[in-house]
A and B are shown apart, each in its own frame.
Chain A
C-alpha cells in the first residue's frame, strides 16, 4: 500500500525527520489560506498523486506570491497528470500540498528498501539528488552508496559513518545531522512496517541541516493489521476501482489489454495461464487469482468483473483444485450465468480436488457456449480459437 507525499511527511514529522512545513488542501481557496498560514515568502504547490515524476509532468510549481499560489492551485487541481510512472491516461489531481520553499544548498538521494538477496533493509544514498535514481544506477553506479542494516542489531553508529563518509560530508556538524536523520528514518521504516521509503531529493540547507523535500512510502500489506493508522491513510481513489472491488471478495485482479478473460486459482498458475494463451497466439484480458477460499459467490463476482471489460471475447476458467474444490467453482459458474448475462464462450478446465463432481455439475448446467478443456494446453487452445470466433 502506498501513501501520498503529505501523509509520508506526517509520519516523518512524528519521528522528527525534518521536512519543510506544509498543508494539504483540496480547494483553491484553501490553498491560498494555507499559503497565508505558512507565511512564505515562497511556496511550492505540489500535486498529490501516487506516482513519481510529478515535477516533470507539471504537477509541482514554485509560487512567489499569494496570487501565484491561487493561479497555480487552480491550474494543477483537477488536471490529469501524466508521468513516467502513471498510465498514458494519467491521474486526476484531487489534492494539493502547499509547502514552504526551502533554502537549498544542494540535493541528495536517500532511501530505505528491502534487499531481498540480503534479506534485510538496505539504506541507499547518492549525491545525485533530484535525478531519476534508475538512471543513476544505470549510468554511474559508483555514485550510489548502499548500507545494509541487520534488523537484529538495528541502526548503529558505523552505519551512519559509512553513509556520511560515502556521501563526502566532511563537516562534523553536518555529519552528525545526516547520521541522526538517517537513524530516525530507519526507525520509521522498522516501526511502521514500511516496504520502502524514498526521499528524492533530500536537501542540505545553507545551515547544514537536512530536509526531506519529497517523501514516498510504501507499506507491507501483510502488516496493515497491526498498523491501523497507516491502513486508515489508504486512498482508494488512487487505485483501480475494479481491483479494489475484486479484493473485497478475496480476488486478485489486474486488467490487461487482451481478449481472453482468465479466471485461475493461484498466482503462479494464473501467470502461467496467461503465458500459455500468449504462446498460442491469443491475448489475455486480465490476471485473476480466485484465491484459496473461492466459492460460488466469489466466482460469480469474478465473472461480473471480467465481463465488464468490453474487449473480452472468451473466458478461460483454469482451476487446479488443491484447497479450492472444483465443485464449488462449477457451482459458481452456474451461479454466474444466473446473475450475469454470460454472452461469450466459456472454456472450463477443472482438475484436482473434486474434479469429477464438478464435471457432473457442469453437465447438468444449461449453458450453450460452455466448452470443456481437457488440460491446460487443450483449454488454452480452445480459448484462443473461441476468441477468434472459431
Chain B
C-alpha cells in the first residue's frame, strides 16, 4: 500500500518532449513508473521515449485513460497547463516547474479545486511510492520500500530525510514534496490523514520551514486526527528575518510564521520535533521503538 500513486497509476507528461521533460520522464520510466504518453502541442501523433505524444491533454486522457499528469512546461505556461489537465479530467497534477507566477497559481488552483483535481507543487520534487512509481525529479535510488511516510516542503530535505530513514534500516511508503511556493496544492493537512489511513505507513516524517502557517494547521490536525507517531523538523530556526518592505502578509495570518512558533505547536500536538535535520533518522528509529 501507499498513498496517491502506485505501480498501476497511469501517468502522462505535459511538456513531454522538452529538455527537462524528456530527461526526467526517462528517469521515471527507468524507475518503473507507468508513463502512458505525453503532451506537446503540434507534436501529436509522434512517438517519444517509446510513448505516444498528443496535442492536448484531452486527447491523451481519452486514448490512454491516464489519471495523473506530471507537468514540466515552462513557468509562464504552468497555469494554463494545470487548468487544461483539470478540464480533461486528470485526478492529480504534479507540478515540477519552478517560478510559476503566483497570480497564475491562484487561478489554476481555484479551477482545479472546482473540477475536483488534486495538485502537488509547483516548484517541488514530486511524489514517489518507493520501488513502484516515481513522478518527479528525486533520485530514486535512495527511496527504499518501508513503513515511513514523508512530507516535505523542501526537495533536498526530502532526500536527506528519506536517506536517513533508510540508513536506520527502515524505508519509505510514499514521499511527497509539496513545494514551498506561496500557493501550493496538497499540503500537510490533506496528506497526513492519507498516511493515517494507509495500513503500511507506521510513522510519518514531516519537514517544514519558516513562513506561512501550514505547519500550525498541521499541528492542530495531528492533535485531533493522527494516531501514528510523527517526527518533524522545521528549517530556518537561524534564518534572518525576511527582508520585506512590510509585514502585511504576516498580519493576515495572525502570526509571523517563525520556526520556534511552529516547533512549539507541533510539540504540543505530541510530535517528536528535532532541532537539526541530522537527527531525523534517529528520531524515527526511536518512535518506531527499535
What residues make up the interface of A, taking CB atoms closer than 8 Å to B? Answer: 2, 50-52, 85, 111, 113-117, 119-122, 124, 133-134, 137, 144, 146, 150-152, 190, 193, 195-196, 198, 216, 218, 220, 222-223, 225-226, 254, 256, 264-269, 271-272, 274-280, 284, 287, 292, 320-323, 351-353, 375-377, 380
Contacts and interface: CB of A to CB of B under 8 A. Distances in A.
10 contacts: A51-B245, A52-B245, A114-B106, A116-B183, A146-B252, A266-B155, A269-B277, A279-B276, A320-B160, A322-B139
Nearest to A275: B237
Contacts of B290: none
B72 interface: no
Given A133-B248, A223-B103, A266-B157, 7 more contacts: A52-B246, A117-B213, A195-B102, A222-B102, A280-B276, A322-B125, A322-B138
B154 interface: yes
Interface string B141-177: 0100000000011111101100110000000000000
Interface residues of B, number: 58
Given A119-B110, A265-B156, A268-B207, A137 B276 contact: no
A269 B278 contact: no
A266 B103 contact: no
B245 A376 contact: no
B103 A220 contact: yes
A114 B155 CA distance: 24
A278 B156 contact: no
A69 to B, nearest CB: 27
Given A267-B180, A268-B154, A113 B249 contact: yes
Contact of A193 (B101, B210, B252): B101
Given A152-B107, A271-B209, A320 B248 contact: no
Contact of B245 (A216, A274, A292, A323): A216
B238 A225 contact: no
B66 interface: no
A267 B233 CA distance: 14
A211 B82 CA distance: 40
A316 B242 CA distance: 23
Contacts of A280: 276
A322 B159 contact: yes
Contacts of B251: 124, 133-134, 137, 144
B277 A353 contact: no
B230 interface: no
A222 B246 contact: no
Given A114-B102, A266-B155, A376-B277, A196 B249 contact: yes
B83 to A, nearest CB: 11
A334 B107 CA distance: 46
Contact of B157 (A151, A269, A323): A269
Contact of B139 (A198, A264, A284, A321): A321
A196 to B, nearest CB: 6
Contact of B101 (A226, A276, A352): A226
A152 B105 CA distance: 12
Interface string B226-256: 0000000101111110001111110111000
A371 B142 CA distance: 24
Contacts of A85: 245-246
Contacts of B109: 119
B76 interface: yes
Contacts of A277: 238
B289 interface: no
A220 B123 CA distance: 15
A381 B244 CA distance: 33
B275 interface: yes
B81 interface: no
Contacts of B125: 322
Given A133-B251, A151-B106, A376 B156 contact: no
Contacts of B160: 269, 272, 320, 376
Central interface residue in B125, B233, B244, B249, by most chain A CB within 10 Å: B249
B262 to A, nearest CB: 13
B155 A120 contact: no
B206 interface: no
A222 to B, nearest CB: 5
Contacts of B277: 269, 272, 275-276, 376
A268 B276 contact: no
Given A117-B252, A276-B277, A196 B159 contact: no
B156 A320 contact: yes
A114 B249 contact: yes
B205 interface: no
B182 A114 contact: yes
Given A124-B248, A271-B235, A320 B276 contact: no
Nearest to A379: B278
Closest 6 A-B residue pairs measured CB to CB?
A: A268-B154, A266-B156, A377-B278, A269-B156, A271-B235, A223-B101
B137 interface: yes
Interface in B93-133: 98-103, 106-107, 109-111, 125
A113 B154 contact: no
Contacts of A220: 101-103
A280 B278 CA distance: 11
Contacts of B157: 266, 268-269, 272
B264 to A, nearest CB: 16
A119 B103 CA distance: 10
Nearest to A243: B243
B75 interface: yes
A198 to B, nearest CB: 5
